[in-house]
Amino acid sequence: MNAILISRIIGLIIFAIIGAFLGTPVNTFILQFWAESSINPLFITIFTTIVMGAVGFIVAPWISIKPIQALRKLFTKASMNSLLSGLVGLTVGLIAAALLAYPLSLLPAPLGNILPFVGVLLFGYLGIFLFVTRQNDFLSLFKGQGKGGLRSGRQMEGEHRILVDTSSIIDGRIADIAKTGFVTSNLIVPRFVLNELQFVSDSADDLRRQRGRRGMDVLAELQKLKSPKIIISDLDVEGVREVDDRLVVLARQLNCPILTNDYNLNRIAELQGVSILNINELANAVKSILLPGERMDMKIIQEGKEYGQGVGYMEDGTMVVIENGQRYIGKTINVIVTKVLQTAAGRMVFAKPEND
């Protein structure tokens, strides 16, 4: 029996009792306008009991369970910074209302009786609204005043933790990056991400199954490293089903970035103010810079789209198109860079054989 059904039953009982007590006043009210009424008072009591019980059965969840669920969902999605800012704003607003309560109570009635209560509501709301909407400014102010001192444990924890998405685990390059020592933060893998990875590993599709198993191998490889530390966490977000949405909400609560290669998750997180560490962007940033006229060795492995072209690849995967290179397929030759193009799909290099 769920909570909503229990609340409906309790509401039915309470409202039915209220309806039973309302039977006599309703009968009296009817006799005032219809003195010759022959309706049995017991019938009126039964009628009011049934009507009020039905009303209680319908509205009970909306005045008990639903508001609690809405507040719970709101507090779950809100970041810790927002909650603390709202609490501070409410405190400041209530203090301001308390200072104004006595002067307002001296006003002539009924203003003196009403305005202190209105001031509490108004200043409490304004305090919460101001501190929540400008929380970043207040946090920046406190950070600026605290330079050189100790920062809060929450901030320090957020700076040394990174949430890991399924796509970055399956990608596998995170293991190579971790081995270089550039990643010093603890990598947090939520249990629901691990479950999704296991689901992919058990897929009926052969390609998905291979990708999932490769992700498991990457996790096992990361756990063997002394640094960074891999933490399988049971932290979760209630009321949210999608893995991407749960990651974003969890990142906001922990005040830490998300490591991912998923474009959609990247966009969703950025719109909600969550920092993203994208391995693809990192790979593009560390690619070697080539200028026209530079020489390099290149192995021609296949034909190009145009007549006479050959195609080779650099160590980072960048495609190199060699004019008149078709006759060198299978050979490693010296080439001269003629042009470098940056496209939405990545970088493309054009070159020609040095002998030409």
Contact 13, 55 (CB under 8 A): no
- 346: confidence class by pLDDT, cuts 50, 70, 90: low
How long is the chain?
Answer: 356
- Rounded CA gap, 76 and 71, in Å? 8
d(CA 104, CA 227): 62
Q: Convert 280-329 into a string of H (helix), E (strand) and C (coil).
A: HHHHHHCCCCCCCCCEEEEECCEECCCCCCEEEECCCCCEEEECCCHHHC
Clarify whether residues 163 and 274 are in a common domain: yes
CB 253 within 8 A of CB 273: no
Q: Are residues 246 and 185 in the same domain?
A: yes
Mark whether 86 and 132 lie in a shared domain.
Answer: yes
- Residue 231's domain comprises 154-284
Q: Band the pLDDT of 300: cuts 50, 70, 90.
A: very high
pLDDT(148) > 50: no
The pLDDT confidence band at residue 143, using thresholds 50, 70 and 90, is low
In a domain, 274, yes or no: yes
The verdict on whether omega for the bond into residue 67 sits within 30 degrees of 0, i.e. cis, is: no
Q: What is the dihedral of CA 178, 182, 186, 189, to 10 degrees?
A: -40
CA distance linking residue 161 with residue 183, whole number of Å? 10
Q: Residue 235: inside a domain, yes or no?
A: yes
**What is the per-residue pLDDT for 337?**
92
- Give me the helices (H) in the chain, please: 3-33, 41-63, 65-77, 80-105, 111-133, 135-145, 153-159, 166-171, 173-180, 191-201, 206-223, 243-254, 263-271, 279-285
Using CA atoms, how far apart are residues 73 and 272, in angstroms rounded to an integer? 16
For 48-62, b where at least 16 C-beta lie within 10 A, e where not — what string?
A: bbeebbebbbeebbe
In this structure, is residue 25 part of a structural domain?
yes
- What phi and psi values does residue 31 have, to the nearest 5 degrees? -65, -25
**Percent of the chain whose predicted confidence (pLDDT) is above 90:** 8
pLDDT (average), residues 290-294: 84
Query: How much is the mean pLDDT over the chain?
Result: 81
CATH code of the domain containing 201: 3.40.50.1010
| pLDDT at res. 37 | 60
Q: What is the pLDDT of residue 140?
A: 61
109 occurs within a structural domain: yes
Lowest-confidence segment of 153-167, 204-218, 273-287 by average pLDDT:
153-167
Quote the number of domains for the chain. Answer: 4
Reported as a pLDDT band with limits 50, 70 and 90, residue 136 is: low
Q: For 14-24, what is each residue's pLDDT tens digit?
A: 888 888 888 77
Residue 161: strand pairing partners: 186
Q: What is the radius of gyration, based on Cα positions, of the chain?
A: 34
Shared domain check, 84 and 62? no
Using 50, 70 and 90 to split pLDDT, how confident is the model at 146? very low
148 part of a folded domain: no
Residue 328, pLDDT > 60, answer yes
pLDDT at 231: 86
0.75 surpassed by pTM:
no
Q: What is the CATH number of the domain that holds 342?
A: 2.40.50.140
> Over the stretch 211-237, which tens digit does the pLDDT of each residue have?
889 889 988 888 888 888 888 888 887
| Whether residue 43 sits in one domain with residue 128 | no
Examine the domain organization and report whether 167 and 201 are in the same domain: yes
pLDDT tens string 51-75 = 888 888 888 888 877 777 777 777 6
CB atoms within 10 A of CB 247: 26
- 73 domain residue, yes or no: no
Task: From 245, 229, 234, select the one nearest 160 (Cα to Cα).
Answer: 229
- The whole-number pLDDT of residue 151 equals 38
Q: How high is the pLDDT of residue 95?
A: 92
In this structure, the answer to whether residues 52 and 101 fall within a common structural domain is no
Q: Are residues 210 and 260 in the same domain?
A: yes
In a domain, 147, yes or no: no
332 close to 302: Cβ distance less than 8 angstroms: no
Q: Is 257:275 a contact under the CB 8 Å cutoff? A: yes
**End residue of a domain, out of 249, 265, 284:** 284
Same structural domain, 185 and 246 = yes
State the pLDDT at residue 348.
Answer: 84
Please choose, from the candidates 310, 314, 320, 313, the residue with its C-alpha nearest in 3D space to the C-alpha of residue 350. 320
- Give the C-alpha separation, 116 to 97, whole Å: 7
Average pLDDT over residues 119-129: 87
- Give the per-residue pLDDT at 352: 92
- Average pLDDT on 339-346 reads 72
Please state, for a pLDDT cut of 70, what percent of the chain lies above it.
Answer: 87
pLDDT confidence bin for 345, thresholds 50/70/90? low
Whether pLDDT at 5 is above 70:
yes
**Residues 273, 161 share a domain:** yes
